[in-house]
């Protein structure tokens, strides 16, 4: 094979959500901090994301993570998250995938029964505790970056729908959280396509109508995800989640950053106290077990540090390569699977 580009990949999923992990082929990325490195890839060189996620090498229902040396001495490993359309500062499912991969492949030493490490992410440092047995990561629990409510009960005028009420909250990215029953959803799998269609409209309305900015980092701004939620009948503090990921699909897992944003809302409403367990399910039935680890402040606003626990599984190891004669060095997109909102390679 005469490949001009070659990346070593380990594929994993966290409770159903696929997170590819690049373990070789990229030495480092320019930037003094992990956020700087993320911005470099966003603004100067988007080729890795496109190469790994666009067809024919990837697909819409996955993310890719770049493992890098940390930029601060207190961290063990750095990571940059790349999704279908953007670079979120933080992701819970991708954190679980990265930790599972770096420990099970030996990139970071595993200690049984418990391995503790610190991730350097674009959103900040994330402390992780992995339960390990016989060389396998059984669960990953992480304390997310501080999360907070931007506003409660925001009224959004949504095209073709009318007024939709949403809580706007930060969990590592900004979410517009909507009560599913208020827009007619029962939170069952066969509603997934309709949720995606409405969710993308809600996100567009939030971006257009709301000025949403992180108080400590103005480059983190705007609502990235629409999030539908409802209680699970007969179970205390148990919720079902459906998070819409652009350009138009549902997160397969309960979404760690979404759960974090939701915990901030529940805390603001007096419904989540530190140490109280809240369980979030996906439409597939997979679960994240969560709690408020502690309270804090962000830019003078009340905030929480969520603790999220879930499971990850490695299911493939392989290389992605590019031959110089291949007409698609950075891949391609078609709206049949990527949705009408995708803007090609622009």
For 289, residues 6+ apart whose C-beta sits below 8 A from its C-beta are 277, 279, 308, 309, 310
Could you tell me how far CA 316 lies from the centroid of its own chain? 21
Start-to-end C-alpha separation, the chain: 30
Dist. CA 123–CA 145, nearest whole Å: 7
Residue listed under structure tokens 């974090």? 260
Dist. CA 207–CA 145, nearest whole Å: 23
* Active-site position among 91, 169, 267, 282: 91
| 174-179 vs 162-170, strand pairing mode | antiparallel
Q: Structure tokens of 230? A: 């409802």
User: Is 260 a catalytic site residue?
Assistant: no
Dist. CA 207–CA 201, nearest whole Å: 10
Residue listed under structure tokens 């949720």? 195
φ/ψ of residue 208, rounded to 5: -75, -35
The four Cα atoms 102, 19, 224, 198 give a dihedral, to 10 degrees, of -160
Do the Cβ atoms of 119 and 75 come closer than 8 Å?
Answer: yes
Give the active site residues: 91
């Amino acid at each position: 094979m005469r490949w001009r580009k070659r990346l070593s990949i380990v594929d994993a999923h966290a409770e159903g959500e696929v997170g590819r992990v690049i373990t070789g082929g990229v030495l480092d990325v320019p930037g003094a901090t992990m956020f700087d490195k993320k911005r470099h890839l966003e603004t100067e060189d988007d080729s890795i994301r496109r190469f790994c996620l666009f067809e024919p090498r990837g697909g819409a229902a996955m993310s890719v993570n770049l493992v890098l040396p940390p930029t601060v001495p207190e961290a063990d490993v750095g990571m940059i998250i790349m999704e279908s359309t953007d670079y979120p500062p933080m992701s819970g499912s991708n954190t679980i995938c990265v930790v599972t991969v770096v420990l099970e492949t030996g990139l970071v030493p595993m200690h049984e029964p418990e391995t503790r490490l610190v991730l350097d992410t674009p959103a900040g440092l994330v402390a992780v505790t992995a339960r390990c047995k016989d060389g396998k990561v059984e669960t990953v629990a992480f304390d997310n970056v501080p999360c907070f409510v931007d506003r409660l009960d925001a009224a959004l005028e949504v095209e073709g729908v009318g007024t939709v009420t949403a809580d706007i909250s930060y969990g590592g990215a900004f979410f517009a959280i909507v009560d599913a029953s208020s827009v007619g959803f029962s939170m069952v799998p066969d509603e997934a396509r309709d949720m995606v269609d409405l969710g993308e409209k809600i996100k567009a309305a939030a971006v257009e109508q709301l000025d949403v900015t992180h108080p400590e980092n103005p480059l983190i701004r705007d609502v990235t995800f629409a999030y539908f939620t409802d209680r699970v009948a007969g179970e205390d503090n148990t919720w079902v989640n459906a998070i819409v990921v652009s350009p138009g699909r549902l997160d397969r897992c309960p979404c760690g950053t979404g759960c974090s944003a939701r915990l901030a809302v529940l805390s603001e409403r007096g419904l989540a106290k530190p140490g109280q367990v809240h369980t979030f399910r996906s439409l597939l039935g997979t679960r994240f077990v969560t709690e408020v680890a502690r309270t804090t402040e962000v830019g003078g606003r009340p905030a929480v540090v969520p603790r999220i626990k879930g499971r990850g599984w490695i299911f493939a190891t392989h290389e992605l390569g590019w031959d110089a004669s291949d007409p698609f060095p950075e891949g391609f997109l078609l709206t049949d699977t990527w949705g009408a909102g995708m803007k090609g390679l622009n």
